[in-house]
Amino acid sequence: MGISWILVIAVALYVLQHMFMARLGFRGLRIARAFNKTHCHVGDDIEMIETIVNRKLIPLPWLRLESTIHAGLHFAKQSNLEVSSGTIFQNHRSLFSLMPYTRIVRRHRVKAAKRGWYKLETVAASIGDFVGMAAATRTHRFELELLVYPRLVSREDIPLVSSRWQGDVTVKRWIMPDPFLVSGVRDYRFGDTMNSIHWKATARSQRLQVYNREFTADPRLLIIVNTQVTETMWDAVSDPELVEKGLSYAATLAEYAVSQGVPVGFGYNGSLVGQPGVPIYMTPEGGTAHLEYLFETMAKLAVSCTRSCSNFLDLEVEQVGTAMDIILLTAFVSPDMEESIERLEALGHSVFLVPLQHHLLPQTEQEANAADDYPHSNATSGS
């Protein structure tokens, strides 16, 4: 047999096996991905579990899986795994070899580095033939989501500008007025009785003043995060780190208040991912289910500004009839905000400020020790 026939047979065998793998290589192949948790907080370690099953007699010389994953999830170093980091997204590539009727389960260690709503929807799978050449590629679709809540910090790290928000609960505020508890005076409002008028204060101010009486029921807390970093900033947030800090403080305060039985609400003059232009207002409620819903909402927030803080206070909060303790987390206080705060206090609310200073959130010792195992990225949070 001449050399030419040998070449012809070799080419024919190569083409046949290549066509065979291209047609039947994906038959009986199952690829699945899942997180061991549906939600976590920033800084937590989780696992992405990858399962590949070859349910046929034909082996797969190699199988390469490629996917694009948000850079807010940091993958630990691992054999046969390549992660190329980008500013927002990173390419995730892994390589496998499967014998007939083989099942491989691989666990990827992941650190949740950024708050956000992460969706892993597709993975590109490529298989090779028996001579190592790529034979076929298909896209597998998933419905995989992970909610990363804001980081929880120590309450001692939150610079609350008031000595009144101390102890086990917030400043006590009551539903039924107690005639023996008086906390200053306020302007007369429709419905106030004549015996509640403070005549001396009325004479001094030349305006009708009434006693501001305490109440006799459980307190209600509203936590507001201002996404405006400066008074002139609008729409795009110029310093997302400060907003993330505010959300971290808000999550910490909300968890503590709910643990003490205090109903907690949440306000945010930004919007949810995919719902631009709609600010967030959640009325105060109690219980772990409400806290979980509040955390889920925080995870899905876009770092944006849809309404000025003073406008948000006037339109969203001022309309609430029942008096509340309000904690405002903000990087600045403008004259317009001061006027809005004064109007809220005149309505019976108590307003406390938490200044957002420009420095990084503290990193735990465990995170610092494990930092070398994970690729880093400067990406902002998102989905």
Same domain, 347 and 225: yes
Cα–Cα dist 221/254, whole Å: 9
DSSP annotation of 313 = I
Same domain, 165 and 308: yes
Both structure tokens of 200: 């001396």
Q: Average per-residue pLDDT in the chain? A: 82
Distance of CA 41 to the CA centre of its chain: 8
- 282 Rama sector, left if φ>0, alpha if ψ -120 to 50, beta otherwise: beta
pLDDT of residue 165: 43
User: Of 110, 133, 149, which residue sits at a domain end?
Assistant: 149
Same domain, 42 and 116: yes
Both structure tokens of 268: 């945010």
Same domain, 193 and 111: no
Same domain, 210 and 223: no
Cα–Cα dist 261/220, whole Å: 10
Tens of pLDDT, residues 67-89:
988 889 998 877 666 776 666 77
Both structure tokens of 114: 């950024």
Distances (CA, A) of 294 to 39, 94, 371: 13, 36, 29
Same domain, 88 and 115: yes
Cα–Cα dist 223/355, whole Å: 13
Decide: 87 and 119 in contact? Cβ < 8 Å: no
CATH number at residue 111: 2.60.40.1510
SS3 297: helix
Is residue 95 a part of any domain in this protein?
Answer: yes
- The total of structural domains in the chain comes to 3
- 250 Rama sector, left if φ>0, alpha if ψ -120 to 50, beta otherwise: alpha
Phi and psi angles of residue 10, each rounded to the nearest 5 degrees, phi first:
-65, -45
Residue-number span of the structural domain to which 255 is assigned: 155-173+219-355
pLDDT of residue 338: 93
pLDDT of residue 56: 93
Same domain, 160 and 286: yes
User: Of 99, 133, 149, which residue sits at a domain end?
Assistant: 149
Same domain, 65 and 123: yes
pLDDT of residue 303: 93
Same domain, 255 and 108: no
Is residue 364 a part of any domain in this protein?
Answer: no
Alpha helices in the chain, H assignment, sequence order: 3-24, 199-205, 240-259, 288-299, 309-312, 335-346, 365-370
Cα–Cα dist 7/244, whole Å: 65
CB atoms within 10 A of CB 80: 11
pLDDT of residue 201: 82
Decide: 90 and 84 in contact? Cβ < 8 Å: yes
Q: Which residue has the tokens 């503590």?
A: 256
Is residue 365 a part of any domain in this protein?
Answer: no
pLDDT of residue 182: 52
Residues sharing a CB contact under 8 Å with residue 138, sequence separation 6 or more, in sequence order: 26, 124, 125
pLDDT of residue 149: 98
Decide: 96 and 59 in contact? Cβ < 8 Å: no
pLDDT of residue 66: 92
pLDDT of residue 77: 78
| Closest alpha carbon to 246 in 306, 285, 301 | 301
pTM for this entry: 0.75
Is residue 251 a part of any domain in this protein?
Answer: yes
Residues sharing a CB contact under 8 Å with residue 217, sequence separation 6 or more, in sequence order: 173, 174, 175, 176
Same domain, 99 and 56: yes
Is residue 13 a part of any domain in this protein?
Answer: no
Is residue 368 a part of any domain in this protein?
Answer: no
| Ordered mean pLDDT values, 10 residues apiece, the chain (383 residues) | 78 87 92 94 94 94 91 81 70 89 92 94 91 90 93 87 42 39 66 73 84 58 92 80 95 91 92 90 92 97 92 82 86 92 87 77 46 44 36
Is residue 235 a part of any domain in this protein?
Answer: yes
Decide: 72 and 38 in contact? Cβ < 8 Å: no
CATH number at residue 230: 3.40.50.410
Is residue 16 a part of any domain in this protein?
Answer: no
Residues sharing a CB contact under 8 Å with residue 83, sequence separation 6 or more, in sequence order: 75, 90, 91, 92, 93, 375
Q: Which residue has the tokens 């990173």?
A: 90
pLDDT of residue 179: 45
Same domain, 197 and 277: no
| Closest alpha carbon to 219 in 169, 281, 290, 161 | 169
Cα–Cα dist 303/44, whole Å: 21
Cα–Cα dist 219/327, whole Å: 13
Distances (CA, A) of 96 to 125, 162, 375: 11, 59, 22
Same domain, 224 and 339: yes
